[in-house]
Amino acid sequence: MLCVRAPGRVNLIGEHTDYNEGYVLPVAVNLEVRVHANPRSDSRCRVYSELLDEQCEFDLASLPTPEATPPTFARYVVGVAWALQQHTGRTLTGIEATISSTLPIGAGLSSSAAIEAAFAMLWNILDGLHLERMQLALLCQRAEQVYAGVQCGLMDQAVSLLSKAGHALFLDTRTLFTQSIPIPEEWAIVVADTGKPRALTDSEYNLRRAQCEQAVAALRPLLGEEVSTLRDVSPEQAALYLPLVSEPMRRRARHVIGENARVLEFLTALRHAEQAHIRALMLASHASLRDDYEVSCAELDAMVDACLAAGAIGARMTGAGFGGACVALVEKTRVAQFLAEAEQRYRTQTNYTPRFFVCEAVAGASVCN
């Protein structure tokens, strides 16, 4: 029996930048997926999810197409098998597997990427594929794009595979440069789930991505052919040229360009544990996601306000948006008081039941201890 674990994530800053070749700074947290698997002597797979009490079966020698795959967790497992097989030209080993999870589904903590990362790691070991973690992350991203139909960036898969305990993962999604950035030991990472299930996420997500591409198409005649993504546009150029771009592309681009600059500033602020600076950057990120990118919602806004009023260093929505969770940084000595106060304040604003998780930054996918 082989057991592999892969963590979920929260993103400290750098939201909706990863499909624009921008910067991100997520953290892998100790809410994770575990897969226990026994190899079979043939190419059949039977995978059971304890959380959903659902099972899926398929044959690696004749994988179902995305259209023929049930729209459940099966999409992620079959998708990863497809991406690995396409990349290596091999038929993988069949498995009898069980997925268990401490990751809440629908909270925007990327349970899908964690499932993908776990199965990629599992087959990498079982079949001796010797693929590097970044390569596995790229294949998991491909799986999600083709089998789940979400034109996602690389952040979630990369952080689930490449993180180091106690650190956030800085990723430049253009060059694939990564660097582990220590998180001050006296700070807790709190995931504050609004309890509002995410709605319309996939269609709105793909729409945002298309609008970013339209913004690039509008800017290219003004700035030159070397502009291939919003990553190539500086804040100074944005100030000059974005007024010439039509809405909503103008505001979508302003968010992405500003957010990239905020990630780089955040790196320095985090290294020096500059609380006021971190707070300002997280608030600016949230405001930009709310007003320019339009992916927040009343519950996420209420949760950010509740967290700040309850004494967080900083707070913002995290992940794709449209419901889900916020991330808050809180001094460890103040966590108990923070949790009580944030919950009470949030409940006066909405009818949803929030959940709070005080998390640690953990290492990326590995064989279970």
Q: Which residues of 135-154 are buried (b: 16+ CB within 10 A; e: fewer)?
A: bbbbbbbbbbbbbbebbbbb
CB of 351 to ligand GLA, least distance (A): 26
Which of the ranges 13-21, 86-94, 180-188, 244-252 carries the binding residues for ligand GLA, by CB under 6 A?
13-21
Site string for ligand GLA, 66-105 (x = CB under 6 A): ----------------------------------------
User: Between 39 and 149, whose beta carbon lies closer to ligand GLA?
Assistant: 149
User: Between 262 and 345, whose beta carbon lies closer to ligand GLA?
Assistant: 262
The alpha-helical segments, DSSP class H, found in the chain are 74-88, 111-126, 133-143, 155-162, 201-223, 235-241, 249-271, 275-291, 298-309, 335-349
User: Between 11 and 49, whose beta carbon lies closer to ligand GLA?
Assistant: 11
CB atoms inside a 10 Å sphere around CB 240: 11
Assess contact for 150 and 108: CB atoms under 8 A: no
Give the binding-site size for ligand GLA (rule: CB under 6 A): 12
User: Between 104 and 153, whose beta carbon lies closer to ligand GLA?
Assistant: 153
Cα–Cα distance measured from residue 33 to residue 5, given in angstroms and rounded to the nearest whole number: 6
Rounded alpha-carbon distances, angstroms, from residue 88 to 91, 122, 139 = 8, 15, 11
Cα–Cα distance measured from residue 16 to residue 63, given in angstroms and rounded to the nearest whole number: 32
Q: Which of residues 343-362 bind ligand GLA (CB under 6 A)?
A: none
**Candidate list 42, 127, 156, 305, residue with the active-site label:** 156
Token digits of residue 181: 């950035």
The correct pick among 156, 193, 292, 299 for binding ligand GLA (CB under 6 A) is 156
Question: What's the first-to-final CA gap in the chain, in angstroms?
Answer: 13
Q: Which of residues 173-232 bind ligand GLA (CB under 6 A)?
A: none
Q: Which of residues 309-328 bind ligand GLA (CB under 6 A)?
A: 319-320
Verify binding: residue 255, ligand GLA, rule CB under 6 A: no
193 is annotated as an active-site residue: no
The correct pick among 153, 314, 354, 364 for binding ligand GLA (CB under 6 A) is 153
The correct pick among 4, 6, 15, 269 for binding ligand GLA (CB under 6 A) is 15
Q: What angle do CA 120, 33, 297 make, to 5 degrees?
A: 105
Output the DSSP codes for 153-211: -SHHHHHHHH--TTEEEEEETTT--EEEEEPPTTEEEEEEE-SPPP-SHHHHHHHHHHH
The correct pick among 13, 152, 306, 342 for binding ligand GLA (CB under 6 A) is 152
The correct pick among 69, 93, 110, 288 for binding ligand GLA (CB under 6 A) is 110
Instruction: Name the residues annotated as catalytic.
Output: 156
Binding-site ranges for ligand GLA (CB under 6 A): 11, 15-16, 18-19, 110, 152-153, 155-156, 319-320
